Structure 1
């Protein structure tokens, strides 16, 4: 299994737009082959800081997800939404 954590720091002015777009992405992604879980959490200590916790079966599933039109659209819009650059952490579990 591969685990990806993506940390987003969103501007207050774009919060609603980000959440609307990311909610659509979450719903679609959960149906993708190889997606084991895909959850968005908001920090209780930092305003407008979100972490997407993704669990994937394998690299092939991630590669397919990266081609998703909804994910590509989010990537395109992130400079408009973000207060800081997105931070990604990727880990593989030991079999």
Structure 2
């Protein structure tokens, strides 16, 4: 399993536009083959900073999504609303 976290800082006047994009696409992303979970988180102290937190069956499943038509629609529309470059991490759970 891969956990993907993407932290995005939006122009303050573009937050509602981003939320609309997320509302319109979240179920499609959740339904994408290999996606187990997607949620949106808001920074506790910076209201224009959001992170997506998603679980993927594998890195291949995540990469298939990133090469998909859906991602090709959602990401460019989201990216144009940024106030800063997004940061992304792909993580694996560790059993200790």
Output the TM-score relative to the length of structure 2: 0.86
- Quote the Cα distance in structure 2 between the aligned partners of 1:55 and 1:81: 24
- Quote the Cα distance in structure 2 between the aligned partners of 1:68 and 1:26: 15
Native 8 Å contact 2:39 2:52 kept in 1 = yes
Q: 1:39 to 1:80 in 2, by over 3 A?
A: same
- Is 1:61–2:61 an aligned residue pair? yes
RMSD: 1.6
SS of structure 2 residue aligned to 1:47: coil
SS of structure 2 residue aligned to 1:23: helix
- In the TM superposition, residue 25 of structure 1 has moved relative to its aligned partner by 2.1
Could you tell me which runs of 5 or more consecutive residues in structure 2 were left unpaired when the two chains were aligned.
none
Native 8 Å contact 1:25 1:71 kept in 2 = no
- In the TM superposition, residue 19 of structure 1 has moved relative to its aligned partner by 0.9
Native 8 Å contact 1:10 1:48 kept in 2 = yes
- Quote the Cα distance in structure 2 between the aligned partners of 1:79 and 1:64: 19
- In the TM superposition, residue 65 of structure 1 has moved relative to its aligned partner by 1.1
Output the TM-score relative to the length of structure 1: 0.87
Spell out structure 1 runs of 4+ moving beyond 3 A.
none
Match of 1:44?
A: 44
- Quote the Cα distance in structure 2 between the aligned partners of 1:16 and 1:68: 25
